Chains A and B, each alone.
Chain A
């Protein structure tokens, strides 16, 4: 027996299923054509968001009144400049560049509100499932109430009280969606709290906080992350709807939602103004949704084999 840190209890560890490396997961995901497309598209969006200054061919707020409402594929005014591949808007601003900078706003709103609502919802769900009783009742009644309430209406109501703006939008989107995580986290906590490994932790004298954060939470990470992926897509759409109705972000910020609503009045004269940013949202949300559904089946032991077998041949 070796005494170098790890203890051997004389039990065979061979029976444990081997841990599947994340690389095999990744290969499994890429073996599916649509999922591969989704991942590549999301990576492209992400890179251009981070490096907007480098990638965008034009300054997104520089107006050029000689180049108003130019259709896609219009050559640039100056020789040698990048053509306006996606056209220009009513102030002559390059749409591709605005799209790239707009992605920054839309994704930031989607990701940060998903993060806030995910943290809040997970903690409340864990507490409800772990302590049961009155805490559970209170939290779950609130969840039931919010599940049946149109989230846009609640968001608009809170925005009316708070006033519009970037941080209000993130706050509002976070508080209108926390309950989906709470429901999921509570369900999983209820399932795990009666299992032997939690009993064992309790017998060893772990505190409630340690059981919740060290033993329960890690087991819930992947379903919650998948839910979060889905939610980011929904929140990007939610931000667009709020901005369109005039209660979300205000111009001159350029989110994708604002770009569509800005193009509404030019629908019949310059169709590309509203059409192009709409496609940007659609493909981003679709990719997120497809990725989430692939992740769900690849992390599910019942469906996993089909994916991993394909990836390893």
Chain B
């Protein structure tokens, strides 16, 4: 178990290094940083200023070393836009995104598992087909369009929740609902097939033979054992939620890391973009690592090996 955790941490560290290298290569080798930051039409003095600030006059290896060591110390340069260090700016926005992500997860997981289990109760029934189409809808919908439709119908027409802004329940429900639909679709399909696989196993026969109702068989026996494959796929959804957060935060004016990323991108603020990418991917890598460790711990077959 300890060896597993150590190996997993090393793996996470390698992925972090790859991520930082990709960011470095894309931003400073593939693209010309000066052109990214100030566009094509720029005065010579301004070009020199930017080159100095980004340290672009040094050899690439020196730049790479400085970039990587800086990142590991949590220093990702100074924002061109606010002229302040970038890392504090990003970390300040982090709680808003975590808040939105947690509410989304709390909405998505129970609902998805309930839908998946209901579908597995009677495969190919009308309920199963309806849930299947609903689930496919989740991966077929444009998130920002869903956001706009929710604003139009729920917030403007019905006047239930706020159209945009940051705060309690009345602010968080619509963005969280928008973000939750895609994971609901995917997890419910996953849950359905995992439960149907479980239902073929002998212990289910025993449960049925002792006279349990089909609902009890599915919800208490099969679901508990199907939890393991379901939990392993939740890791992928972390990236999905953060992916969607960029779009959804932009539509709802939610002051999180996603909105900051988009603002940094449209202001061509390269250091700030790099810092947001670092934080977002760092979050994904950490959550996946924790999920893996938790999953291994929860599964006795692996724990006692």
Contact = CB atoms under 8 A, between A and B. Distances in A.
Interface stretch (A41-49, A188-196, A239-247): A239-247
A278 B145 contact: yes
A178 to B, nearest CB: 14
A48 B237 CA distance: 36
Contacts of B112: none
A153 B36 CA distance: 16
A161 B140 contact: no
Interface in B131-151: 132-133, 136-137, 139-145, 148-149, 151
A161 B27 contact: yes
A295 to B, nearest CB: 13
Nearest to A275: B149
Given A160-B268, A162-B31, A233-B139, A148 B148 contact: no
Interface in B207-241: 235-236, 239-240
A205 interface: no
Given A241-B247, A260-B142, A149 B151 contact: no
A145 B141 CA distance: 26
Count class of interface residues, chain B? 35 or more
Contact of A282 (B132, B137, B266): B137
Nearest to B25: A161
Nearest to B268: A160
Given A149-B284, A244-B247, A274-B148, A285 B266 contact: no
A157 B136 contact: no
Contacts of A147: 236, 239
B246 A153 contact: yes
Contact of B18 (A141, A156, A234): A141
Nearest to B287: A148
A286 B137 contact: yes
A261 interface: yes
A4 interface: no
B152 interface: yes
B129 interface: yes
Nearest to A156: B265
Given A147-B236, A157-B27, A245 B262 contact: yes
Contacts of B250: 245
A152 B246 contact: yes
A74 to B, nearest CB: 20
Contacts of B26: 157-158, 160-161
A68 interface: no
A216 B82 CA distance: 55
A141 B156 CA distance: 47
B133 A34 contact: yes
B285 interface: yes
B79 interface: no
B243 A278 contact: no
Given A145-B22, A148-B288, A161-B26, A153 B139 contact: no
Interface in A7-49: 34
Contact of B243 (A153, A161, A247): A153
A152 B265 CA distance: 12
A144 to B, nearest CB: 7
B280 A150 contact: yes
Contacts of A289: 136, 139-140
Contacts of A240: 142, 144-145
Given A161-B26, A267-B152, A149 B144 contact: no
A154 B23 CA distance: 9
A240 to B, nearest CB: 5
Interface in A182-226: none
A268 B156 contact: yes
A282 B140 contact: yes
A264 interface: yes
A58 interface: no
B143 A241 contact: yes
A150 B284 contact: yes
B15 interface: yes
Contacts of A141: 14, 18
A162 B31 CA distance: 6
B140 A233 contact: yes
Interface string A74-106: 000000000000000000000000000000000
Kindly list the 4 A-B residue pairs having the minimum CB-CB distance in the complex, ordered from nearest. Answer: A161-B31, A285-B140, A278-B145, A150-B243
10 contacts: A145-B15, A148-B15, A150-B242, A157-B26, A162-B31, A245-B262, A271-B152, A278-B149, A281-B142, A289-B139
Interface of B: 14-15, 18-19, 22-23, 26-27, 30-31, 36, 129, 132-133, 136-137, 139-145, 148-149, 151-152, 156, 235-236, 239-240, 242-243, 246-247, 250, 261-262, 265-266, 268, 270, 273, 277, 280-281, 284-285, 288
